[in-house]
């Protein structure tokens, strides 16, 4: 599943390719991927894309009217296998007569843009979807207010107040999007390894210096992962169709039974809250 670094790469790609373009036409193939109104205007037909926002693993495509006033918003959750991809007019032209992505059954919606390019949402397993709102404020009020703060910007004090309230183990608490938004199985395991904290610790047990270390390491880890284009395990690609490279730098995720890169002992694998968790019992005591 795309986590914060992958979703941020999609956002950065879209900022460069679709922001400033007007949506001339929308072709919706599957109504059931849209939650809320699915009228052409709700899907931003006739609107100019003014900005792409992100909170945790979710994106917001923000539409504006001719004067640039924000007038609509689509929240996109990529789920397990979702992708948002821009295709330029020249690529579309080169494809004509060749393999025709218009026939791809997993493309559920296609926005036609004023430059002649298209933006598509593709999601084979359909755990993702679109949520339409009248404005970004409505999205914040009705959907994003249930999420914790973004993992890239949360402060130690806020994270401390959230973790202090739960007796769950740290791994489970950090995966909870209501505690903090953006981390999934990959980055929680990597974060706890670089922070030298055991995933089995009770969340409310962490003291202030440990939380400060956790937040410092989290920003550094996520920044490095964003720089490397995120992690591609199976199907993640960014807005230009490129895979990430950060999977080559994973120290623990998916490496249970292999040797710790720091101390050479065998990495342990346990299942916590149904999620496979890999850590070093020696380095993360
Ligand atoms: Zn170790």
Ligand 1 centroid–CA 196 distance in Å is 9
Ligand 1 centroid–CA 182 distance in Å is 26
Q: Are 128 and 39 in contact (CB under 8 A)?
A: no
Comparing C-alpha atoms, which of 49, 60, 47, 46 is closest to residue 10? 60
Neighbours of 32 (CB within 10 A): 9
Q: What is the pLDDT along the chain (285 residues), one digit of tens a residue?
A: 899 999 999 999 999 999 999 999 999 999 999 999 999 999 999 999 999 999 999 999 999 988 878 889 999 999 999 999 999 999 999 887 666 666 899 999 999 999 999 999 999 999 999 999 999 999 999 999 999 999 999 999 999 999 999 999 999 999 999 999 999 999 999 999 999 999 999 999 999 999 999 999 999 999 999 999 999 998 899 999 999 999 999 999 999 999 999 999 999 999 998 999 999 999 998
Q: Are 68 and 81 in contact (CB under 8 A)?
A: no
Ligand 1 centroid–CA 278 distance in Å is 11
Separation of alpha carbons 47 and 64, rounded Å? 6
Separation of alpha carbons 189 and 184, rounded Å? 9
Ligand 1 centroid–CA 7 distance in Å is 30
Ligand 1 centroid–CA 220 distance in Å is 20
Ligand 1 centroid–CA 25 distance in Å is 54
Separation of alpha carbons 210 and 195, rounded Å? 8
Under DSSP, is residue 274 helix (H, G, I), strand (E, B) or coil?
coil
Q: Are 180 and 188 in contact (CB under 8 A)?
A: no
Q: Are 210 and 179 in contact (CB under 8 A)?
A: no
Ligand 1 centroid–CA 258 distance in Å is 11
Length of the chain: 285
pTM of the model: 0.95
Catalytic residues: 2-3, 57, 275
Please tell me the number of Cα atoms within 13 Å of 233 on its side-chain side: 12
């Amino acid at each position: 599943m795309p986590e914060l670094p992958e979703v941020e790469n999609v956002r950065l790609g879209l900022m460069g390719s679709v922001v400033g373009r007007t949506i001339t036409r929308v072709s919706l193939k599957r109504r059931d991927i849209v939650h809320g109104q699915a009228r052409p205007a709700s899907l931003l037909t006739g609107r100019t894309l003014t900005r792409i926002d992100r909170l945790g693993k979710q994106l917001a495509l923000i539409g504006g009217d001719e004067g640039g006033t924000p007038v609509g918003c689509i929240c996109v959750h990529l789920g397990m296998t979702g992708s948002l991809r821009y295709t330029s007019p020249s690529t579309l032209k080169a494809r004509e007569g060749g393999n025709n992505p218009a026939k791809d059954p997993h493309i559920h919606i296609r926005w036609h843009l004023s430059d002649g390019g298209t933006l598509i949402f593709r999601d084979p397993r359909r755990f993702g979807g679109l949520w339409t709102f009248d404005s970004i404020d409505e999205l914040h009020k009705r959907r994003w207010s249930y999420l914790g703060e973004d993992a890239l910007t949360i402060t130690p004090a806020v994270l401390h107040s959230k973790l202090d309230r739960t007796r769950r183990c740290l791994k489970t608490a950090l995966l909870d999007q209501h505690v903090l938004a953006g981390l999934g199985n990959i980055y929680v395991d990597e974060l706890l390894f670089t922070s030298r904290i055991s995933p089995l610790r009770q969340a409310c047990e962490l003291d202030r210096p440990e939380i400060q270390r956790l937040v410092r390491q989290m920003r550094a880890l996520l920044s490095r992962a964003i720089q490397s284009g995120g992690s591609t395990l199976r199907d993640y690609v960014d807005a230009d169709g490129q895979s990430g490279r950060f999977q080559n730098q994973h120290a623990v995720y998916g490496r249970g039974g292999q040797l710790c890169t720091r101390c050479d002992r065998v990495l342990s694998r346990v299942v916590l809250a149904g999620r496979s968790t890999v850590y070093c019992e020696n380095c993360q005591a």
